[in-house]
Amino acid sequence: MLGRNYENAPFLPGPRAAAPPAPAQGRATPPRQVKLERECELRIEVGENSPLRLRLLNGYAEIYGTEIPPEIWLNFPPRLKFAIFTWHGATIEMDGGSDTSDYVADETPMISYVNVHAILEARRNRAKASSSDDIESSQGPRVIVVGPTDSGKSTLSRMLLSWGAKQGWKPTFVDLDIGQGSITVPGSIAATPIEMPIDPVEGIPLEMPLVYFYGHTSPSANVDLYKLAVKELAQTLEKQFSGNSESRAAGMVINTMGWIEGVGYELLLQAIDMFNADVVLVLGQEKLCSMLKDVLKTKPKVDVVKLQKSGGVVSRPPRYRQKSRGYRIREYFYGLANDLSPHSNIANFNDLSVYRIGGGPQAPRSALPIGAEPAADPTRVVPVNISQDLLHSVLAVSFAKDPEDIITSNVAGFIYITDVDVQRKKITYLAPSAGELPGKFLILGTLAWLET
């Protein structure tokens, strides 16, 4: 797929297959139209069994900040949830999606959201007008979106990015939510510039993301490693911003995870500090907003703003989240609508080196006080023997040149282990493109997927 450390070549997806055919004409259920009044929202959940297509017949409407082109059918695959908002009124025509559910809402927080965008736009313009030699004054807004699980953080981030791109900016999107993964597979933190409004169907573009592999779907699995990954990403972006006035003025939008208590709250404060965020948008929780205002009051240049979460945001049970992670991994290899062609490859055990991060004692017993037990080192790079235990694992392909550099290196992409032949010492894996892997060092976490 991916990967960019501004020197390394990307590991791109395979070629797209032919586009799926449009639904057959003359079906039993005819297309239906929904008329939206001004400042209303059509909330849609495409069912499990059949895709949906829709088009804008008249008026103006957008999906999470991206304008819908008029009279063009858009195809939405099963299981997708989204909302169509109109500022002045619109008529939507929908076809297919026999098990799709939808309803119209006339109460939304969109006015407050677009007001935030207007403030960010003014800050970008001021930064652009400043001398590029003055790093501080030429720095555009750095927005971090925080809140509990299922409060609409990803949606708001997407809106702010698309609105900014529509105005000609190229804001950087930073995704710290390892549980779902808006840019690439779960278990990763990533950043990518947003050069155009985000496609309503395809989502975040994957041409040049900068990705660090954490390897787990919860920070609690290895808090020290998560902190280190966030630090590495922040430092890399800081270097890029210092030499690129356009990116610096456009700023960034940072999406965070929903763990906001205890250690999760500490990680949130670390992210605000590491990325030098100056706008903190708090969705849906008074307590968190109050706590952040109190702890950040010593930083007068940091604004903490509470926003209402959308009524379209619903709580997702753990089982649903687990299934969503599987869909995201499948989408990486096969595309949202099965329009990518991944490649199956076979390699010798000796051609690849697998490592995991975390484990092994920090110090030998002889160096510890009498009676003390050695603790595991959460950031130690440990070699892993290739065995059947790797079956169905998703591994990251590191850009590191030496094993000791793995922990601080970004990754080129991901492979999926489909077979391990111990007797022949052969490993079979699925990769997004043909040819040799861009690196021989693979990183193992706890990310697994059972292809169906």
What would the 3-class secondary structure string for 19-52 be? CCCCCCCCCCCCCEEEEECCCEEEEEECCCCCCE
For residue 364, what pLDDT is reported?
Answer: 56
Identify the CATH assignment for 32-107 out of 3.40.250.10, 1.10.260.40, 2.60.120.1030, 1.20.120.530.
Answer: 2.60.120.1030
Q: How far is CA 316 from CA 48, 149, 180, 245, 313, in A?
A: 16, 9, 12, 40, 9
For residue 88, what pLDDT is reported?
Answer: 97
pTM of the model: 0.90
CATH superfamily label, 110-307: P-loop containing nucleotide triphosphate hydrolases (3.40.50.300)
pLDDT along the chain (452 residues), means of 10: 43 46 51 96 92 96 97 92 96 92 95 97 94 79 96 96 97 95 94 96 86 95 96 96 94 96 96 97 94 92 94 81 90 88 95 88 55 71 95 97 95 97 97 92 95 75
For residue 274, what pLDDT is reported?
Answer: 97
For residue 368, what pLDDT is reported?
Answer: 52
Per-domain residue ranges of the chain:
32-107, 110-307, 343-444
The CATH number given to 343-444 is 2.40.30.330
For residue 374, what pLDDT is reported?
Answer: 53
Question: Comparing 32-107 with 110-307, is the CATH topology the same?
Answer: no
